[in-house]
Structure 1
Amino acid sequence: MTKTTGNHFDTTLSAYERWCDPCSGGFSRAALDGAALPAGAAVLDVCAGMGALAVPAAERGYGVWAIDTSSQMIARAAERLRPYPGSAAEVMDALDLHYGDDTFDAAFSVLGVVYFGPGMAKALSEMIRVVRPGGLVGVMNWADPMGAPFFHPVARTINRMDDPEVGTFAAPLTEYLQRPELEQALTDAGCVDARSERVEAAYTVPTAETFMDELDPVFQVLPQYRAAVSKDRDRFREILAEEASLMAAGSLPPALGNIAYARVPSA
């Protein structure tokens, strides 16, 4: 979950849970597989959303704390974590973690702090501070600057509209980091033994007829989407349905992400 102004994610709860969280959950399970944490580890999930990493971590027997600035997302995460004693979720800013030093065995941020721009370094330093020496820090990014696969039909639709006032679609992930850059960010923040790997996750998409309505709350984060829809919503819907039908007609390729891990230096 990226940091956002105006709690955008508070308004996307239903759409996000149906169409985004399963993919984030697949990424998160892959991240946990690669982390190989010890039994009973204490795990912090930063920018946790509705618990895409926190819930599978709790299912594995870890003690999990999930934090996010979206009150609606965190409320859903808390509900999903309720069956797991020793796990909790609360509203908190990743730039100001209210935990003591060396509290956790690992801290993760899946599709979260990597989009903080200049604030990423501060967020990473906070994650490192609360992880014990020798513990693990993991951050994850999309492997494509377009982000989620369902943005591709939106991009093609905007370009087909050919409206100078809207412009050619620009990939939304302006702070996109590739695997070596993710490793370097962790190293620059003070970690050691950085490594990374490519991971993948399955996802589903709405039918062509419902594509726009189902995902509209998510697409609202894109300024060009908002501009294009305000100019000619009916035409946009028609073209997007055509593009979405092409996407849904074939086998969907997996969503691809990059996960980087590093260790907090031992004392």
Structure 2
Amino acid sequence: MNKTMRRNPWDALVPTYERWMEPCSALLAQAALEQAAPNSGSDLLDVAAGTGALAVEAAERGHSVHAIDTSSNMVGRLTERLRPYSGCSAALMDARDLRYGDDEFDAAFSVLGVLDCGYRTAKSLAEMVRVVRPGGVVGVVHWADPVGAPFFEPLGRAVDRLNDPGVGEFTAPFSEYLQRSEIEHALIGAGCADVRVESVQVPCAMPEPETFVDEMHPIFRMHSQYLAAVSCHRDRFRRILAEEVRAMAAGKGGHPVARANVASARVPHHAGRVELAVRAPHDLAEVD
């Protein structure tokens, strides 16, 4: 491999993501499809599709689905899952540079995807709007809680219980687009109209306390504080984390429920496209 090439960290997450994250994201995908309500047999684009929570559900509903992701392993797995559905496919592609023509789809979706792209979010949303026909819909889903998936709640409490200055206090993975107002402004700035945002809660399956670390390691290793805690306090940290998972299962400190915002918007019929008008969330006035 060329030394200048960097492996996509999501390539190593396919089995773990499909087993533990997709059951939750599938419920969010269903909520997104029901809210946006695309016409029967629509041509849909799923951006940052992962293992296919929305793509497979949309294909089951009779839509023609094209799914993209930047992880080759995710795309490979999704290609397998979409094979039984006529007119559906998956491709390796960057959300900021969609290789599709203007007005090519009836709808474009991204579940737990483009709103977690930092400075790339604005461009990705603008691209999604560009490829959707006037009158079509754009749907996005993002966490409404800075910890994201409930898996990170016991992780955060375990990190804080270590009380190690070298590890530090837990830093939640997400900080942007957590408010409904932020998502609404982002979609309007990308050229959408008639924005609708709803907050939802869905259950999230959790590994057993004794196997929690092993099951979640492929996901948690993307978090620097987890790596520091495991490196410096391996046995103690595993014990504390198992205790926190057990407490969560017993209802102490919060049940495993995922909180997210589901949004949909219409692509206007007027001529012309917005190049880029999305401001960073920290520049937005809080209106919720």
Where on the TM-score scale, by shorter chain, does this alignment land: which range? over 0.9
TM value normalised by structure 1: 0.95
**Deviation at 1:261?**
1.1
Which shows bigger deviation, 104-113 or 243-252? 243-252
Instruction: Mark the runs of 5 or more structure 1 residues left unpaired by the alignment.
Output: none
Which moves more between the two structures, 42-51 or 253-262? Answer: 253-262
1:213-262 per-position Cα deviation (integer Å, ceiling 9, x unaligned):
01100111111111111111111101101111111234944312101111
Give the letter for the 2:149 counterpart.
Answer: A
> Helix, strand or coil for the counterpart of 1:209?
helix
The unaligned stretches of length 5 or more in structure 2 are 1-5, 271-288
The DSSP-based 3-state class of the residue aligned with 1:12 is helix
- Aligned pair 1:263/2:259, yes or no? no
Paired with 2:173 and 2:135, the residues of 1 have a C-alpha distance of 35
The equivalent residue for 2:82 is 81
The CA deviation at 1:265 is: 1.0
Aligned length: 263
Counterpart residue identity of residue 213, structure 1: D
* Contact 2:30 2:54 (C-alpha < 8 Å) held by counterparts: yes
The CA distance in 2 between the partners of 1:103 and 1:28, in whole Å, is 21
Letter of the 2:15 counterpart: S
Superimposed CA distance per residue, residues 1-39 of structure 1 (whole angstroms, 9 cap, x where no aligned partner): xxxx74111111111111101111110011101111111
**Paired residues for 1:33-182 under 5 Å:** 33-182=34-183
Map 1:201-216 to 2 at 5 A.
Answer: 201-216=202-217
Residues in 2 aligned to 1:157 and 1:174: alpha-carbon distance in whole angstroms: 20
Q: Aligned residue for 1:238?
A: 239
Amino acid of the structure 2 residue aligned with 1:50: T
One-letter amino acid matched to 1:264: V
Q: Is residue 26–residue 200 contact of structure 1 (8 Å, CA) maintained in 2?
A: no
- 2-structure distance, mates of 1:141, 1:176: 7
Percent identity of equivalent pairs? 58
- Listed as ranges, the matches of 1:180-195 within 5 Å are 180-195=181-196
C-alpha deviations, 1:67-125, integer Å up to 9, x for none? 00011111111111111101100110101100010000000111111011111110011
Amino acid at match of 1:69: T
In the TM superposition, structure 1's runs of 4+ consecutive aligned residues that sit over 6 Å from their partners are none
Match of 1:246, SS? helix
The match for 1:254 among 252, 257, 263 is: 257
Q: What SS does structure 1 have at the residue aligned with 2:157?
A: helix
